[in-house]
Structure 1
Amino acid sequence: MAPPLALDIDGTLTTSEHTIDPRVFDALSGWDGPVVMATGKSFPYPVALCHFIGIEERVIAENGGVVYGEDTLRFTGDPDRAAAAIEAFVDRGGAVGYGTVDTTNRWRETELAVSIDADEALLREVAAEFDLSVVDTGYAFHVKTPGVEKGVGLETMAELLGVDVASFVAIGDSENDASMFEVAGESYAVANADDRAKAAADTVLGESYFDGTLSVLRSIDSSV
């Protein structure tokens, strides 16, 4: 059996235009081992991706705030505190940046996200007052409970699957993947990764986006 995978989505399974690389579907649909989608996106996004690929729904969402697998759903984090912090941020002139409907945050359960174009200094100042942390994924600022990380989520997922977390191969591109890299047995940062991810990874790939991810999958299983 192939090793279990822990895969970030944005920047890792996508193209440089931020769309899912179509090669993802063939590469992952036949993977002979568990595949876990580990993302900062809200819960429905990775569940839908698993559904359309045709693999079991095994998901770490909201940077570890939501873990779903083996018919078990777990939440970690304080959404009320995050909501209060965002309200204070807006009251002080900050802008969430996602419009009236805000599909980025509509289904979030444990944290909230703010546009990457927002006033970062103000956001961090307000978050600190509420004892919250801010993670810059390169795509958004995530306001979340300290200690809620993808790495903790991956440990939970390993427990649900009954496997050693060190058996996972993890691939990602941003600072929210660093904690996942620290607990996985093998970790890879794609070439477009930020400095924190590159520093935490065992290997920094020469290829970017899904080209990099695919190179790892093919090194493990040449039939991919």
Structure 2
Amino acid sequence: MVPPLVLDIDGTLTTPTGGIDPRAFEALPAWDAPIVLATGKAFPYPVALCHFLQIPEQVIAEHGGVVYADDEVRVTVDSERPWQAAEAFVDRGGDLGWGAADTVNRWRETEVAVNLDADEALLRAVAEEFDLDVVDTGYAYHLVTPGVAKGDGLRSVATALGLDPADFVAVGDSENDVSTFEAAGESFAVANADDRARAAADHVTDGAHMDGTLEVLAALQ
């Protein structure tokens, strides 16, 4: 029996240049246990990926701000304060960095993502004023409500699926995966993971990105 999985997306199911590694489309549908996709991305992204992978739509989005399992969507926090902070950041000369259409944030419900080229010092100063955390995923800064975490999302999804979070094996690459590693029974940081993820994981893979994830899947079978 293979274990259920909770998988980050960016840096974990992707190529080094950021696209979904095509090998995911063979490996994940063949996995004979539940798979939960856990990401900092807006809710539609992991749902769409589940759809194209042809696996059940079980997701943790926006670092745990939105959770979807067993045909129920739960928004866990109020989204107003992150957007108020984002507006203050822009008013003070900051730039979210995504252009006028801002498709990165267009469908977010509980947080705001800011390009890594942004003024980090200003962003963190504004976040502190609004009592928000800044989470660096390696792909963006995220203005998030304190206490929102992927690990809590995993506990919620596991309950909906009739499982224990400790039943899951987690794979990820960044600081927003630390709470998932703490909630899951076993955890793996891929070789490209940041220092916080590597320190929190039970294991670090030899391979990076999807190579590391496939290394985990092979070891679990």
The interval holding the TM-score normalised by the smaller chain is over 0.9
CA distance in 1, matches of 2:4, 2:146: 27
Does the CA contact (< 8 Å) of 1:158 and 1:165 recur in 2?
yes
CA distance in 1, matches of 2:53, 2:85: 36
Does 2:75 correspond to 1:69? no
Q: Output the TM-score relative to the length of structure 1.
A: 0.98
Q: 1:116-166 deviations in whole A, cap 9, x for unaligned?
A: 110111101101101110100000000010000000100111111110100
Count of residue pairs the alignment pairs up: 221
CA distance in 1, matches of 2:204, 2:23: 21
Amino acid at match of 1:2: V
The match for 1:209 is: 209
The match for 1:109 is: 109
Q: Judge which range, 73-82 or 179-188, deviates more.
A: 73-82
Q: 1:180-216 deviations in whole A, cap 9, x for unaligned?
A: 0001000000000000000100001111000000000
Amino acid at match of 1:106: R
The match for 1:26 is: 26
Structure 1 residues 124-203: aligned runs within 5 Å: 124-203=124-203
Does the CA contact (< 8 Å) of 1:113 and 1:143 recur in 2?
yes
| Identity between Structure 1 and Structure 2 (%) | 67
Does the CA contact (< 8 Å) of 1:77 and 1:111 recur in 2?
no
Shift of 1:78: 2.3
Structure 1: stretches of 5+ with no match in the other structure: none
CA distance in 2, matches of 1:125, 1:143: 12
Structure 1 residues 91-110: aligned runs within 5 Å: 91-110=91-110
The match for 2:38 is: 38
Alignment root-mean-square deviation, CA: 0.6
Q: Output the TM-score relative to the length of structure 2.
A: 0.99
Q: Judge which range, 58-67 or 71-80, deviates more.
A: 71-80
CA distance in 1, matches of 2:198, 2:218: 21
Q: 1:41-60 deviations in whole A, cap 9, x for unaligned?
A: 00000000000010000000
Does the CA contact (< 8 Å) of 1:77 and 1:144 recur in 2?
no
Structure 2: stretches of 5+ with no match in the other structure: none
Amino acid at match of 1:159: T
Shift of 1:36: 0.3
